[in-house]
């Protein structure tokens, strides 16, 4: 089976909620900057509105980053689309339209345009609807990552796709056999500091055929250490590959 990890890549940076130094997290400009910088993957969080529209937002309420109040699952897309981000980097650089909540399909279109892997954190129990949207956007299952802090949601994902790479956020060691049994999977440990990560926490999942990452690769020193540990992909809030004006990405 074709693997995401067969793709040529100098560093497999996963832009966490887009490229945050240049735009607010989970914003259309943030996703576009990540794509322009040729990040290996662009991460986002997906939720459903009251009327079943898939949107990109980390929290279950709009209060944290938008000029409104309410739970996303209790609001219609029309209600949400009238709101605008009021927290994040470089807000004054963008229009109100750019600062509304992104539709999932818009995020997927940006990933498609720039060739970055959609790295999707499921924050809804409706994995089938999300997978259908990914396929409708023209992605092969083998070119997508579905992640969740909930192992049950990843098990549900496997009901609808046998080929999509799944990623368990803050995995539990006693359940590694279950994750490995789902196939084509990876994980992150709840270890905030990579320099405190024991080598056996990397070796154990690798021995089970799993990929591994830690959060977050936010300095050159940390990236170098993560590579020494043998991590397979590098979630980051700020790192990117340098751009070469003549040749693209180094």
pLDDT in tens, 147-181: 999 999 999 999 999 999 999 999 999 999 999 99
pLDDT in tens, 217-236: 999 999 999 999 999 999 99
List Cα–Cα distances, 184 to 9, 102, 112, 153, 181, in angstroms: 19, 29, 22, 15, 9
Average pLDDT over residues 90-97: 97
222 within domain boundaries: yes
Burial of 153 (0-12, 13-18, 19+ CB in 10 A): buried
97 within domain boundaries: yes
pLDDT band per the 50, 70, 90 thresholds, residue 243:
confident
Structure tokens at 143: 């070119």
**Strand, helix or coil at 30?**
helix
31 within domain boundaries: yes
- Which of 8, 7, 6, 14 is closest to 223 using CA atoms? 14
pLDDT of residue 244: 63
54 within domain boundaries: yes
12 within domain boundaries: yes
47 within domain boundaries: yes
133 within domain boundaries: yes
Asked whether the whole model's pTM tops 0.75, one would answer yes
Domain carrying residue 116: 4-243
Confirm if 234 and 221 have CB atoms less than 8 A apart.
Answer: no
Number of independent structural domains in the chain:
1
248 within domain boundaries: no
CATH of the domain at 57: 3.20.20.190
Compute the distance between CA of residue 99 and CA of residue 101 in angstroms, rounded to an integer.
7
């Amino acid at each position: 089976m074709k693997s995401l990890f067969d793709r040529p890549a100098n560093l497999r940076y996963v832009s966490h909620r887009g490229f945050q130094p240049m735009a607010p997290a989970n914003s259309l400009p943030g996703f576009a900057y990540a794509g322009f910088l040729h990040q290996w993957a662009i991460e986002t969080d997906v939720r459903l509105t009251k009327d079943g529209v898939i949107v990109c937002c980390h929290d279950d309420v709009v209060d944290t980053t938008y000029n409104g109040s309410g739970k996303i699952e209790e609001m219609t897309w029309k209600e949400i689309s009238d709101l605008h981000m009021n927290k994040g980097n470089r807000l004054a650089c963008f229009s109100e339209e750019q600062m509304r909540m992104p539709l999932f399909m818009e995020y997927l279109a940006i990933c498609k345009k720039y060739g970055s892997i959609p790295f999707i954190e499921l924050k809804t129990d409706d994995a089938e609807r999300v997978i259908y949207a990914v396929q409708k956007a023209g992605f092969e299952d083998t070119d997508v990552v579905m992640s969740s802090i909930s192992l049950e949601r990843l098990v549900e994902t496997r009901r609808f796709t046998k080929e999509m790479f799944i990623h368990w956020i803050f995995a539990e060691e006693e359940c590694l056999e279950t994750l490995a049994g789902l196939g084509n999977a990876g994980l992150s440990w709840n270890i905030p500091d990579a320099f405190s990560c024991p080598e056996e926490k990397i070796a154990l999942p690798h021995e089970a055929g799993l990929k591994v990452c830690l959060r977050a690769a936010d300095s050159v020193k940390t990236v170098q250490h993560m590579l020494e540990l043998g991590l397979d992909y590098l979630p980051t809030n700020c790192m990117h590959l340098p751009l070469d004006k003549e040749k693209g990405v180094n």
